[in-house]
Structure 1
Amino acid sequence: MDYRLPLFGVAFVVALGALVMPEKFMTVSGPAYAIDGDTLAFEDDRVRIVGIDAPDAPEASKEVSGRVLQGLVNDNGPITCTKAKFKACRNPARSYSRHNLECRFANGDSVGLTMIAAGYAVDYRMFSGGRYQEAMKEAARAHRGLWRTDWEHMVALAKQRSQLDKGC
């Protein structure tokens, strides 16, 4: 019996399934390392932590937020990332070859909320629905993290990321 045809059929169905519903049921989990303050790399995937934005400039702030995220991952891993369950104006499945997912530490705490509460990222309202606004305001009031060392850039980033597009 020729098994090539049935194997081809199975491979085709799997590939088609990946095209039709790639992100809807997406879960990425396991050991991870920080690319920067809002992106994690897993063995085969990169994940943008949805709803937050860590500084890309100045370079020193970008490096600090990435190191903080890496420390949190080291202390609280493994990480599990899934499709965000909160409402937002926009929630694209991918950006810049990364999955946009909500991530949690092994104890269930939100990675995004932890980064914002520690002062190393801001609420990205268009993608968070404002979910992290209060934690960000508290981090700023308490001068935590980059709010202490890079106030002007964090204020500018927070203002920029609090804006909503028309129709949101």
Structure 2
Amino acid sequence: QVLVQDSQTVHLDRNLFNEAYLMHTSTSPQYAIIASCDVAAAMMEPPGGTALVEESIKEAMDFRRAMRKVDDEFGKDWWFKVWGPDKLVDDGIGRSDAWTLKAKDKWHGFGDLASGFNLLDPIKCTLITPGMDMSGKFAKTGIPAGIVTKFLAEHGVVVEKTGLYSFFILFTIGIT
């Protein structure tokens, strides 16, 4: 929005002003954004783009496996839970069908779901902090997610979202 008014000595020619204004503006998309999208699309072409995406998925899967390993070995007192399917592949990135939410599975808590319609993105990791179990029941003791995320931020870890007893980490291209 441009606000103009006549000066005390010169009358504004609104038609001339409008022509000059339209000469320097556009109703078309901003070309820098279009160029950025073109570059991003070119970067995602195989084989390089496939390798970048697979590396992000592998990082997330390695993180999920490491968190489960610590939980299995030392989690009797307390440890974080990573929200996701009960079974993970032992190595690599696995197949996308392992991330489909099925109505019979209890881990997601969504109840009756349409078959083959809902899929969890493996690079999106929601961690449940001690203090609430996976079903949403409060424990006697715990640690609020805000305290954990403040600590992580102070150590260079970007947390995307924080709830009372959960926080969300995203494993994207270029963060490794």
**What TM-score comes out, normalization by structure 2 length?**
0.25
Greater fraction of residues in helix: 1
Greater fraction of residues in strand: 1
Point out which structure has higher relative CO (alpha carbons under 8 A, 6+ apart).
1
- Structure having the higher Rg: 2
**What TM-score comes out, normalization by structure 1 length?**
0.26
